[in-house]
Structure 1
């Protein structure tokens, strides 16, 4: 159990009408909860306080082909209500008209700190011109890029666009922009670690992985051997997972009886010592 407050780098807020039928139906099929759980602002606030989360990132997502649209002003309003303890990560869908322009407006109006995009969910190649328009806007605005560059649950998703290695070109060409890969790029943690070793502007969160013991163990061993644990951050992916339970599961990785253990100090360092300033200049 966490013995002191911690930061949750990956939490969501949304209303039922924001998530669309695919997310809702697939949630019922996979975990027995509509849209993976309730995530209205009031529920989010209560959950963070009860879990001992001192600071949190609020992550939006827009996926046109799934009917998902969490408005950036919805994220921004909640960010402003929690500006002393939160950062806001909006979203645009590069496949939609004027995505880069919409990002510029949202960041300037609401002070968002990052933007989340997802080639395998939204259905675009990371090297496409529409994607590059969003990258250039993020670079101009001085915000970071968060990628769901990992497996997807939607039957209509695009795993051919999901490989973390596809982001090497982006990391090379936007050296002054930080990239944060959600879910450690699962199940391609080896690729993610190699990407991080090569590019100092690439980070990753470990959200959803504590539930997948072998993937989390393997990913952390790779990160330790690659000397990139200083760029791993903890995330729960609330409401899919409760932050306290996710933190408990994450800490428990160090208790596995394995020939190559995960040192408790490394796990605690990731959970407790990752201030927002590593991604967002103060």
Structure 2
């Protein structure tokens, strides 16, 4: 039996539990039985990436003032420094925090981060707000991509009306030279996400967390096939919520579903195995 093919994982977190804050920790335990959705310090991240055959990975932080979550950009950057040959780093700022754009400039200048993670529904800002635009302009000036959690949220205080993927159409239009990467294919609004991608060639999406919901994943991927945007879908595990190898296997299994409109194995394998980071860094 041949060895599993190496993976490129576009969505992995690192943090110490002290970075997470009470909402993330307590709600995580309530939902999945593990505080903060699992251990994700640098030692555990290194162990799992090696064990699961992850050849390349995107490592990211997250800052959410209203939830008390603060994964320092220096924590992400130091880990990136130790993995320059196989990783890209995505920092985070909370646009509602004064000086967010300045912190982004500092972190990118210090660590060479490739992107910034934002979450309107968790951080509680409208994607068209002045504070958000200050961060977008800084990212555009720095030449980095914008990564959005523009999807459902688990926190009771999450703001779902800020989560709709179509709200990012204005951002994609006004920052044509800046790539946008949407986490989780915008679930449950996958149709909106695909329409956004069809209209805007600078919009990409990862499929993290969806493989555990095969019906939702099937429908989202079917929409992407019909919209001819699967070449801008990338694989991500959302570690530590899910192990990379299991997430990849679950996603590949979409091709085995007996459906009137099947998803070909060629499509799912292409997403899992043929998405180098240059796709978003140099496009």
Task: Give the superposed CA RMSD.
Answer: 1.1
Match of 1:118 in 2: 119
Match of 2:48 in 1: 47
Would you say the 8 A contact 2:62–2:92 is kept in 1? yes
Using the TM superposition, give the Cα deviation of residue 60 of structure 1 relative to its aligned residue in structure 2, in angstroms.
Answer: 0.7
Match of 1:226 in 2: 227
How has the CA–CA distance of structure 1 residues 157 and 2 changed in structure 2, closer, same or farther, with 3 Å as cutoff? Answer: farther
In structure 2, C-alpha distance between the alignment counterparts of 1:215 and 1:141, rounded to whole Å:
36
Q: Do structure 1's residue 264 and structure 2's residue 265 form an aligned pair?
A: yes
Match of 1:95 in 2: 96
Match of 1:67 in 2: 68
1:144-190 superposed Cα distances (whole Å, 9 cap, x missing partner): 00000001000000001000000000000000000000000000000
Using the TM superposition, give the Cα deviation of residue 260 of structure 1 relative to its aligned residue in structure 2, in angstroms.
Answer: 0.5
Match of 2:109 in 1: 108
Match of 1:195 in 2: 196
Would you say the 8 A contact 1:2–1:248 is kept in 2? no
The SS at the match of 2:281 is coil
The SS at the match of 2:278 is helix
Using the TM superposition, give the Cα deviation of residue 247 of structure 1 relative to its aligned residue in structure 2, in angstroms.
Answer: 0.5
Q: Do structure 1's residue 36 and structure 2's residue 47 form an aligned pair?
A: no
In structure 2, C-alpha distance between the alignment counterparts of 1:183 and 1:281, rounded to whole Å:
22
1:58-80 superposed Cα distances (whole Å, 9 cap, x missing partner): 01100000000000000000000
Using the TM superposition, give the Cα deviation of residue 3 of structure 1 relative to its aligned residue in structure 2, in angstroms.
Answer: 3.0
Using the TM superposition, give the Cα deviation of residue 2 of structure 1 relative to its aligned residue in structure 2, in angstroms.
Answer: 8.2
Using the TM superposition, give the Cα deviation of residue 108 of structure 1 relative to its aligned residue in structure 2, in angstroms.
Answer: 0.3
In structure 1, C-alpha distance between the alignment counterparts of 2:78 and 2:88, rounded to whole Å:
12
Using the TM superposition, give the Cα deviation of residue 15 of structure 1 relative to its aligned residue in structure 2, in angstroms.
Answer: 0.2
Aligned length: 282
Gaps of 5+ in 2: none
Match of 2:279 in 1: 278
Using the TM superposition, give the Cα deviation of residue 281 of structure 1 relative to its aligned residue in structure 2, in angstroms.
Answer: 3.0
The SS at the match of 1:24 is helix
Would you say the 8 A contact 1:5–1:54 is kept in 2? yes
Would you say the 8 A contact 1:233–1:271 is kept in 2? yes
Match of 1:166 in 2: 167
1:120-157 superposed Cα distances (whole Å, 9 cap, x missing partner): 00000000000000000000000000000001000000
In structure 2, C-alpha distance between the alignment counterparts of 1:266 and 1:119, rounded to whole Å:
31
Please give the residue correspondences for 1:174-185 in structure 2 after superposition, counting only pairs within 5 Å: 174-185=175-186
Gaps of 5+ in 1: none
TM-score by length of 2: 0.98
Using the TM superposition, give the Cα deviation of residue 280 of structure 1 relative to its aligned residue in structure 2, in angstroms.
Answer: 1.5
How has the CA–CA distance of structure 1 residues 79 and 128 changed in structure 2, closer, same or farther, with 3 Å as cutoff? Answer: same
Match of 1:204 in 2: 205
